[in-house]
Amino acid sequence: MGIKVKDYILEINRQKQEMLEKNESYLILKAGELHAKCGTKGSPTLIQCCSAMKQCMLEGDQIIYDRENKSGVSAALTIKYNILDMSKRQSLHTVRKRGRPVGSKNRNKIDVPSNGITNEINLSVENWMRKEKIKYEELDNKYLIKDPYGLWIIPKYNNESASERFLSSINMIDENFYKCSIIFKSTKDEHDFWKSISEEVIERLNLTALFVAKDGFVSQMVY
């Protein structure tokens, strides 16, 4: 099976995290190097590689060099990512919607707002904390728990990719917190993402994952 866009995005976010741990403020990536690292020998996935690099751009990021070839991509594509305050900056990626124009068909179809899913998942975590007799303080974007070990932070769930949620969550960690639990949907993709995080990072930051199933059941995992 070939390398997909999401595989490149996972590697880009891994490298962003690695640079953050080194106290760097930016990451410079070249498509040819990223493709060589992720793709198998002879793997024709440069298009996916360049697409992933551009999808990972936030406000303040910069394309340093972009020389497209006949296929519209180039191994020379080079992007400078600003890795500070990523959770506060908007994505530069525009999602192209497929299908008929809005209103041409299915006008009576009701879309479930993404904030409805977000609220349900956060409510499930709140119910879990009450069931476990965990006393918490709810703030705008996080839950704070004071226990005998110190302050424990649980950033609220946002309907974004697992990698984006992971990065925005660890950006909330400072010296005041001894533990951080990150909320995920209990899906194969999000479980796989959690398994891709190195044990060294999990142990050093004292991270756990809270997986929320469709029925609201919450399970806490370390590895």
Tokens standing for 8? 């490149």
49 against 209, higher pLDDT? 209
Could you tell me the strand order of the sheet in which 26-30 lies?
Answer: 26-30, 78-82, 62-65
Residue closest to 29 by CA, chosen among 52, 12, 44, 48? 12
Query: Using one digit for the tens of pLDDT, what is the confidence trace for 66-96?
Result: 765 555 578 888 999 999 888 888 887 654 4
Residue 115 pLDDT class (50, 70, 90 cuts): low
> Would you say residue 180 has pLDDT above 90?
yes
CATH 3.40.1350 corresponds to the domain 114-221 = yes
Taking all residues of the chain, what is their mean pLDDT, rounded to a whole number?
82
pTM across the whole model: 0.51
> Under a CB-based contact definition with an 8 Å cutoff, are residues 50 and 74 in contact?
yes
Name the percent of the chain lying above pLDDT 70. Answer: 82
Would you list the domain boundaries of the chain? 5-88, 114-221
> Under a CB-based contact definition with an 8 Å cutoff, are residues 13 and 167 in contact?
yes
